[in-house]
Structure 1
Amino acid sequence: MSRDATGLRRGWTTGACATAATKAAYAALLTGSFPDPVEITLPKGQRPAFALAVESLADGAATAGIVKDAGDDPDVTHGALIRATVRHGDAGSGVVFRAGPGVGTVTKPGLPLAVGEPAINPVPRQLMRDVVAEIAGQFGGSGDVVVEISVDNGAEIARHTWNPRLGILGGLSILGTTGVVVPYSCSAWIDSIRRGIDVARAAGHRHVAGCTGSTSERVVTELYGLPEDALLDMGDFVGAMLKHLRRHPVPRLTIAGGVGKLAKFADGHLDLHSGRSQVDHELLASLVSSAGGSAELVEAVRTANTALGALQLCQRDGLPLADLIADRCLATADEILRGSGIEVDIVVIDRAGTVVGRSGHPA
């Protein structure tokens, strides 16, 4: 297991684990013996080896299981047991994929898989086809197999992912484009934002909302009555959302979030995580000054501990700081979305979920 530049340990995706389990299970189906550990080749040429946690051979089927190690990434699927059960298929059928317990099924259009298909993404599918062909060539198999992927407790784990909102029901998705989990890259979250946009567009929604959290989602729902699959849990990744929308536009976008995160967006930051961007109190002070705030208020905002603290100071003086922040956010969003035709509005809330600032209200 390699480490990245920060010294954090990399891990393996669900797709890599499912591929290794498939290879071991098919080898056992043909030979009666499970390779352990089992080695696979990933898209970028890495050749990791996986220890088997489960081996079962009976009734014309072989099952191998691997415990996912996500390295030092806070992945909800870390420690999950991923199983592959392989059976002989009909002649000429190739590799047929099935969703076992804990793996979801696609129920909405807009994803890279057809409705009704198991939620096993295209790259993991190709990796599994490759190992089936490898084992078939090595041991004289036909390569016509049914591969059923399951994840222990996967339905419960999936409740903590985007899957229910994306219309992937019954469990987790089997994911991974490289096979490697990079700690804190948040690539899965960003991919979920993109898939959320794709699903909303496929459903015909003309208005979507990017929200920093559950409170802003509730506020937007109350304001606009948007359905769940029009709500994009962008978290800190407003830039990733906007860039995908620029390429795949919808007519209307609402961006909603707390005053602290949106103050960073107003300053041009596209990643709102506290470890990667900070509130610029000089910017807030300049906004207050340009709006006619007193010298005392400008200095108080400049030295405030938080953006919320600055907001409260301005509220006491009747100065609409949150509206000024919203105006700057609108300008930032419009610059990124230039030429897309998307009409944007901004909703700024406080910790209680009260709307404290708005800009660009759509008709």
Structure 2
Amino acid sequence: MIINTLKRFGITTGAAAAAASKASTILLVRNEIPKSVTIPTPIGLRLEIPVESVEKRDEFCCAEVKKFSGDNPDILDGLIIQSCVKFNGNEIEIEGGEGVGIVTRPGLKIGIGERAINPIVKEMIKNAIREVTDRGVKVIIQVPNGKEIAPKTMNEVVGVVEGISILGTTGIETPVSDEDYIEHISCELNSIKTSHKHVVLAPGNTAAKLASKIFDKNTVVKVGDRIGDSIRIASSLFQRIILAGLPAKLLKVYAGIFNTHNSFGDARIESLTHASLLSNVVDHETLIKIANSSSVEEAFSYMTKEQRRVVMKIVAERILSRIRKINDKVSFCVIIFDYDEEELCRVGCE
């Protein structure tokens, strides 16, 4: 049987913004119109990205790049990301314009009232521009259809309004939510089994990066939303399985949601409220704030580090209890990281 595991990867909105910024800067500095640009990424890879258009608009030079989502089902696939640049002092100044959402709630890595461009993306944009010029540049990132498409995304749920977020920790979009992705996971798990007795399952890029600092990176598998399916396959292959992730995904598993894609349900805030209530370390006022939060990040902003540790240990213990029912002959361990990348807790890892 031939298994189709050759899936197409995509680029994030952040990579598209960085590519558009480099293309517009090339027109500004060299008076050239590139058909594609190559940009650096935070993970060391370089991406060659097609450029849709480049033109001069008054004092600005502007370029457009089309977001490509590969085989990941994504409402933003094909969306145009635009960057306009002009010379400005000695530094690179990055602003969000029309179609880039505005942050309205705490908990994100962007201040309230600011345009939703992730700090890592801003560094990607700066690094891309610095490959063209050392001069100061003002950059305005815009998404022409951002306002129209935003209601179809999760942005408003986390407190971003009037547009989309410009995101991406790696620049690369992996097809982790695709139905066929589980075939890729199965192949990877079988490959790891040939030389290792344990495996680490990580839902996302950041979790995989943090887990690789603790365990051999060759034992870490990014499983995306398919946590339950991955555990079932891994439990038939390994004697020891470590589930390592950030709070939001694992709070869904706490509630018994083993496919964490939003189409299968969302109980993150309810789970965090429940665990906080059980902890006896969260006061009533903070509990109300947690229950009314729009995201786990916002809820965490109301909690002390110690409260987070106690509450997430309760979460990890219930997750451990749930996944042991999948295969009680396997040794399981659960590790939960905070959003500042510190480890909050681990259970079953002795």
The structure 1 residue matched to 2:323, chosen from 233, 244, 268, is 268
C-alpha displacement of 1:252: 6.1
C-alpha displacement of 1:72: 0.9
1:126 maps to: 123
The structure 2 residue matched to 1:249, chosen from 298, 308, 314, is 308
C-alpha displacement of 1:156: 3.5
Matches within 5 A, 1:148-159: 148-159=140-151
The residue identity in structure 1 corresponding to 2:113 is G
Aligned residues of 1:102 and 1:171 also touching (Cα < 8 A): yes
C-alpha displacement of 1:227: 4.9
1:42 maps to: 41
The residue identity in structure 1 corresponding to 2:83 is A
Deviation string 1:170-195 (CA, Å, 9 cap, x unpaired) is: 2111111211111116638989x959
1:24 has 2:23 as partner: yes
1:112 maps to: 109
Matches within 5 A, 1:303-342: none
Deviation string 1:290-329 (CA, Å, 9 cap, x unpaired) is: xxxxxxxxxxxxxxxxxxxxxxxxxxxxxxxxxxxxxxxx
The residue identity in structure 2 corresponding to 1:268 is I
Question: TM-score under structure 2 normalisation?
Answer: 0.55
The residue identity in structure 2 corresponding to 1:113 is I
- Shift of the 20–219 alpha-carbon distance from structure 1 to 2, 3 Å rule, reads closer
Deviation string 1:191-216 (CA, Å, 9 cap, x unpaired) is: 9x95979xxxxxxxxxx997656586
C-alpha displacement of 1:116: 2.8
C-alpha displacement of 1:48: 2.1
The structure 2 residue matched to 1:144, chosen from 136, 139, 164, is 136
Aligned residues of 2:102 and 2:162 also touching (Cα < 8 A): yes
Question: Aligned partners of 2:95 and 2:20: how far apart in 1?
Answer: 14
1:86 maps to: 85
How large is the RMSD of aligned CA atoms in angstroms? 4.6
C-alpha displacement of 1:162: 3.2
- Shift of the 42–19 alpha-carbon distance from structure 1 to 2, 3 Å rule, reads same
Question: Aligned partners of 2:269 and 2:169: how far apart in 1?
Answer: 33
The structure 1 residue matched to 2:171, chosen from 172, 179, 201, is 179
Question: Aligned partners of 1:173 and 1:246: how far apart in 2?
Answer: 27
1:229 has 2:293 as partner: yes
Aligned residues of 1:110 and 1:195 also touching (Cα < 8 A): no
Question: Aligned partners of 2:86 and 2:113: how far apart in 1?
Answer: 21
Say which SS state the counterpart of residue 50 (structure 1) adopts.
strand
Say which SS state the counterpart of residue 77 (structure 1) adopts.
coil
Aligned residues of 1:209 and 1:231 also touching (Cα < 8 A): no
2:50 maps to: 51
2:213 maps to: none
5+ residue gaps in structure 2?
A: 178-202, 209-244, 258-263, 275-286, 337-342, 346-350
The structure 2 residue matched to 1:162, chosen from 154, 166, 170, is 154
Question: Aligned partners of 1:174 and 1:187: how far apart in 2?
Answer: 18
Aligned residues of 1:13 and 1:180 also touching (Cα < 8 A): yes
Question: TM-score under structure 1 normalisation?
Answer: 0.54
Question: Aligned partners of 1:217 and 1:194: how far apart in 2?
Answer: 12
- Shift of the 15–180 alpha-carbon distance from structure 1 to 2, 3 Å rule, reads same
Question: Aligned partners of 2:206 and 2:41: how far apart in 1?
Answer: 22
2:216 maps to: none
Larger Cα-atom Rg: 1
Question: Aligned partners of 2:254 and 2:66: how far apart in 1?
Answer: 34
Matches within 5 A, 1:71-82: 71-82=70-81
Deviation string 1:73-92 (CA, Å, 9 cap, x unpaired) is: 11232111111111232x23
Aligned residues of 2:269 and 2:296 also touching (Cα < 8 A): no
Question: Aligned partners of 2:247 and 2:270: how far apart in 1?
Answer: 23
Question: Aligned partners of 1:120 and 1:179: how far apart in 2?
Answer: 13
Question: Aligned partners of 2:165 and 2:102: how far apart in 1?
Answer: 8
Question: Aligned partners of 2:157 and 2:174: how far apart in 1?
Answer: 25
- Shift of the 195–95 alpha-carbon distance from structure 1 to 2, 3 Å rule, reads farther
5+ residue gaps in structure 1?
A: 138-142, 198-207, 234-240, 257-261, 270-278, 284-331, 342-363
